[in-house]
């Protein structure tokens, strides 16, 4: 009878622990969604403030001028983005090489560049490098074969 009672108590404890773990997971997800929305709102604010001509496009000059303000630069840094090399950052954000950034390009780029480099990012770069290396070797071999 004592063992049966302990099994019931243990079962109740396990059910409660699983319920708490599920709620914790939901809280973590809600918190992450809230943080993402806040981040996107802040980045959108930055874009709109920097777009002084109201064109909906951000030129490099507008971008660079806006980053010269120490408050803005610190704010951008608080978003997890390094602005020490503004031109390189702008070029990374400008996916279509148009010389201007749309809000979508800006948001997408900021999301990609936010925070520290992750192991996945490094491995993607290694894989891309291997593929490009193979293509270059094939082109070299093909070119050499044409000259012989």
- How many whole angstroms separate alpha carbon 141 and alpha carbon 16? 66
State yes or no: pLDDT of 31 exceeds 70: yes
User: What sign does the CA torsion over 88, 93, 96, 99 have?
Assistant: negative
State yes or no: pLDDT of 130 exceeds 90: yes
The reported pLDDT for the residue numbered 100 is: 93
Instruction: Note whether 85 and 113 are within 8 A (CB).
Output: no
- Strands (DSSP E) found in 56-142: 57-59, 100-102
In whole angstroms, how large is the CA radius of gyration of the chain? 25
- How many whole angstroms separate alpha carbon 62 and alpha carbon 47? 10
Q: Could you tell me the pTM of the whole model?
A: 0.58
| pLDDT, tens digit, 9 for 90 and up, residues 34-89 | 988 998 898 898 889 889 899 999 999 998 888 888 877 787 777 666 677 777 77
User: Could you tell me which residues are beta bridge partners of residue 57?
Assistant: 102
State yes or no: pLDDT of 15 exceeds 70: yes
By CB atoms closer than 10 A (0-12, 13-18, 19+), residue 89 is buried
State yes or no: pLDDT of 134 exceeds 90: yes
The reported pLDDT for the residue numbered 21 is: 67
């Amino acid at each position: 009878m004592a063992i049966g009672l302990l099994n019931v108590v243990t079962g109740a404890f396990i059910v409660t622990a699983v319920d708490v773990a599920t709620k914790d997971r939901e809280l973590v997800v809600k918190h992450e969604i809230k943080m993402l929305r806040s981040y996107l709102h802040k980045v959108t604010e930055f874009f709109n403030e920097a777009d002084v001509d109201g064109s909906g496009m951000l030129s490099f000059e507008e971008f660079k001028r806006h980053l010269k303000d120490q408050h803005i630069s610190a704010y951008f840094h608080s978003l997890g983005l390094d602005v020490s090399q503004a031109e390189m950052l702008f070029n990374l954000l400008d996916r279509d090489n148009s010389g201007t950034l749309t809000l979508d390009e800006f948001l997408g780029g900021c999301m990609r560049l936010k925070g520290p480099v992750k192991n996945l990012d490094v491995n993607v770069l290694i894989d891309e490098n291997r593929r490009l290396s193979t293509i270059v070797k094939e082109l070299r071999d093909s070119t050499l074969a044409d000259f012989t």
